[in-house]
Amino acid sequence: MNILKVKDRQELDKKIPSMPWYVEKFINYKLPDLSPSSLLEYVRDYETFLSWLLAEGLAEGQTIKDVPIESLEKLHMESIDNFRMFLSTRKENANSKTTISRKLSSLRSLFHYLSQIAEDEQFYPLLKRNVMAKVEIKRTHKPKDTAAKLEGKLLQEDEIREFLDYVYNGYEQDIANNKQAMYSYELNKVRDGCIISLILNSGLRVSEVVNLNVDDIDMKKKLTHVYRKGKNDDSFKTPVYFRQEAFDDLAAYLDLRQTRYKAPKREKALFLAIANGKKEGERMTKRAMQEMVIKYAKRFGKPFLSVHKLRHSFATDYYLRNDLYKTQEQLGHASPETTQIYAHLTDKTMAEAIDNRKEQESDSKNAPASASRYATR
């Protein structure tokens, strides 16, 4: 069972009763085709839009649930333009162009359903006029643009090894005078290093790592079985291979998982954490993994490095050694177009890698062998 999907479905079920009847009808229509996570994003987008309609006086009602469908029919293009402006300028949380496009796409999907698919008892469309059909939503996610944003913000070649070495050894020196931080580090460094190593040597998404159970790991074949994003069939898991470096880190973590985190037998999660006030370990959360990576990245001198950029770092390195379609399969991309990000990234990365190798070969002739990162753990 996909743990994150279960939580999102529970959250979705809580929110649906606060939605207008026509939104609930649309969500039920989409439920067989889209994941609860995607539908939850839709509902959040509709919350924002309907709340804005009430605040602007474009709809009547005490709550968003009371917004009549007729209010949607009366909207002008100017109203949609104003909503777009609201999203881009609101003080508490301005949205990026990509986020704005996604929110407008959510609205267009709802309006299309109400005007083209759903019918009343007389077989007429529920929505007589669809203003969103006139709205042009420019595509903002282009592989070349994404690659440009990522350039210089990923780990390359030796930096991957250096970052892992820092997690296992260097971080300890930086927090030597902080007893609380040191206690947490000594408890979790093998787990933290294992999580980071697994992503850097497999390209797994953080959500996929969170969902991993102990039984999902096949050490003999060096693969994990994961629920892939976008697939609604929770009875099927996809095998994803990992490199030898991750094998060593997984073996070290599995040796101490039970004793260090005191997990009850019913707890199947691979990666555990002991929450404050509790004595037994439970599944580590997505947010905890994200914050953990940021913690090490800031001390390492790369504050822009996030858990998702670890995945990008693996993908860039993997693409240098394989082709587009192998990379697409390894990462679980639905379309090869998404994977083209790494084609743009590797144009420059390959040249840098060649220069780095030349320098390293020259320096390594007289350099002493370095200590293993496992020496102090």
Nearest to 189 by CA among 222, 155, 166, 212: 166
Answer left, alpha or beta for residue 142, where phi above 0 means left and psi between -120 and 50 means alpha. beta
Q: Which position has the token pair 């009847």?
A: 21
**Catalytic residue list:** 205, 229, 308, 311, 333, 342
Instruction: List phi, psi (to 5°) of 283.
Output: -55, 130
- Which residue(s) pair with 283 in the sheet? 272
Q: How far apart are CA 25 and CA 118, in angstroms?
A: 9
List the structure tokens of 153.
């913000």
Q: How far apart are CA 241 and CA 224, in angstroms?
A: 6
List the structure tokens of 251.
């073996």
What is the side-by-side strand order in the sheet with 223-226? 217-218, 223-226, 238-241
List the structure tokens of 150.
């990522």
DSSP 332: T
Q: How far apart are CA 6 and CA 260, in angstroms?
A: 28
List the structure tokens of 138.
């420019």
Q: Which position has the token pair 């290093």?
A: 193
Residue 281, number of CB atoms within 10 A of its CB: 21
The DSSP string of 255-274 is HHHHHHH---TT--BSSEE-
Q: How far apart are CA 174 and CA 344, in angstroms?
A: 36
